[in-house]
Amino acid sequence: MSVKDFIKGYVLVEVSGNYCERFLNLASKKGISVKNIKATENGKVLMKIYIKDFFRIRSVARNSSCKVSVYKKSGLSVKTNKYRRRTAFVCGVLLSVVLIIYLSNCILAVEISGNKTISTESMKISLKEKGVRLFASNKIKGREIASELLYENPLISWAGVTVDGNKVIVEIVEKPELPEIYNPELKYNIVATTDGVISSYYLKKGFSVVKQGDTVKKGQLLVSGVTDSSAINIRYLNPEADIKIVTWVAESSQAYLEQNKDNLTNRVIKDTYIEYKGKRYGITRKVPFKYYNVKTTEKTVFPYVKYVKVEKIENVPQKILYNEKELFEIERKKLYNNIISNLTEEYKVLETKYDYVSDGEKITTTVTCTIEGPYIEKITSDN
């Protein structure tokens, strides 16, 4: 079937009778275009007639004493006739085709990778200005955008922008952190960052001000980068030293012996919402219990659109009466973990002391840790 045949629409008819030739001659004389005339084994003739000519063959058939029956219908007009009553279906199909074409030609996701110091949000804003945003056309000039990113942001050493279907992948490589450059015009000093006692003192470069075993205060000068002697003129150095200071860190907390503890039951009320641009749409059911905990889970199903599930779990608080030792143990562990959570590998806990005071209702727990570590920092000053 040619394109012309499909657009015009045709009917495959079967002509039977004793005067099929007469039928053909009359049809051609009437200007009816007849195509693909085939003789079948049982003396019938199959032929293709355009739909507009089909209604004109009635008189031809009558005059030639032939019977005409439709064998097959095909073409655009036949198809449209079929779907004429199903307008909603046709509209739906057309709409979905338009949507597919539109959505396949726009950006639905922007993936940024490789950024460590540069925030993803600032990258997104920068890309937005260059036309890389959600629902914008995915026909973007990746190389130009990458070079613009490089030009704008001095922290980026390489950038690549590629389009993978509906997703724009932005890969960046940040410049490595540059070592601190010694500025000879500035005066560098090493000072203590805490009060304590110097446990080890190893000077690499600079001029020592204190010695091992000295008690120092926070901000006290430990190594100076400036010298002024009679032998040589004023000289500036970038001081370096491995200094360890022993210090004491104490933390305390109060806790009541009688406490309320969460007791979650199996009664749960689940609400689901669709969140669009911060607004939630859905039905909120009445909660039949007084106290409850809320657990919210969100899932992004489409840009700006989130599926939110809110679970309200009944909570019947339970009163628990601790004894002093039991509560002290809990609080002690909590405080100790709190202290060591702020320490890096360079710091070492030498000694730990625990103590508590009780007034019958509550206990006050104190944890004191003796910590050794490099509590020093290098500062610059113009003085």
Partner 1 sequence: MAVKERMAELMEMPKEIILNYPKMTVTGKNEISVDNIIGIVEFSDKIIRLNTQTHILKICGYNLVIKSLTQDGVDITGEITSILLE
Closest distance between partner 1 and the C-beta of residue 15, in Å? 11
Query: Closest separation between CB of residue 29 and partner 1, Å?
Result: 6
To 5 degrees, how large is the angle CA 136–CA 137–CA 139?
A: 145
Provide, rounded to whole angstroms, the least separation between the CB of residue 73 and partner 1: 20
Q: Between 45 and 149, whose beta carbon lies closer to partner 1?
A: 45
Q: Given the complex with partner 1, which of 42 and 342 has the nearer CB atom?
A: 42
Residue 240 corresponds to which amino acid?
E
Distance CA 121, CA 176 (A): 21
Residue 120 interacting with partner 1 (CB under 8 A): no
- 305 binds partner 1 per the rule CB under 8 A: no
- Tell me: does residue 21 bind partner 1 (CB under 8 A): yes
* Residue nearer to partner 1 on the CB measure, 36 or 338: 36
59 binds partner 1 (CB under 8 A): no
Of the candidates 133, 132, 121, 123, the one whose C-alpha atom is nearest the C-alpha of residue 155 is: 123
Span near partner 1 by CB under 8 A; candidates 22-30, 165-173, 266-274, 328-336: 22-30
Least CB distance from residue 13 to partner 1, whole Å?
Answer: 13
Among residues 27, 223, 313, 327, which is the contact residue for partner 1, using CB under 8 A?
Answer: 27
Please state, in angstroms and rounded to a whole number, the distance separating the CA atoms of residues 306 and 298.
6
Q: Give the DSSP H or E segment for 125.
A: helix 120-129
The two beta strands, 109-113 and 67-74, are unpaired
Q: What is the DSSP letter of 374?
A: -
Residue 105 · residue 137 · CB < 8 Å: yes
**28 part of the interface to partner 1, by CB under 8 A:** yes
Whether 102 contacts 132, CB under 8 Å: no
Quick check: 11 binds partner 1 (CB under 8 A)? no
Does position 176 interact with partner 1 (CB under 8 A)? The reply is no
String of contacts with partner 1 for each residue 29-58, x by CB under 8 A: x-x-xxxxxxx-----x-------------
Residue 166: phi and psi, rounded to 5, are -95, 0
Span of 16-24, 149-157, 323-331, 337-345 interacting with partner 1 by CB under 8 A: 16-24
> Judged by CB under 8 A, does residue 66 bind partner 1?
no
Burial of 64 (0-12, 13-18, 19+ CB in 10 A): buried
Q: Name the residue nearer to partner 1 (CB basis): 26 or 237.
A: 26
What angle (nearest 5°) sits at the alpha carbon of residue 97, between those of residues 94 and 101? 140
Secondary structure (3-state) at 304 = coil
Of residues 34 and 313, the one with the C-beta less far from partner 1: 34
Amino acid at 227: T
Distance CA 308, CA 294 (A): 12
In this complex, which beta carbon is closest to partner 1, that of residue 56 or of residue 79?
A: 56
- Size (the chain), residues: 383
The binder of partner 1 chosen from 25, 113, 265, 284 (CB under 8 A): 25
130-169 residues near partner 1, rule: CB under 8 A: none
Site size with partner 1, rule: CB under 8 A: 16
Which residue is it, tokens 């009679």?
Answer: 230
CB of 110 to partner 1, least distance (A): 58
114: left (phi over 0), alpha (psi -120 to 50) or beta: left
Q: Minimum CB separation from partner 1 for residue 107, in Å?
A: 52
Q: Which of 11, 24, 310, 371 binds partner 1 (CB under 8 A)?
A: 24
Residue listed under structure tokens 């360890």: 244
Query: What is the binding site for partner 1 (CB under 8 A)?
Result: 20-21, 24-25, 27-29, 31, 33-39, 45
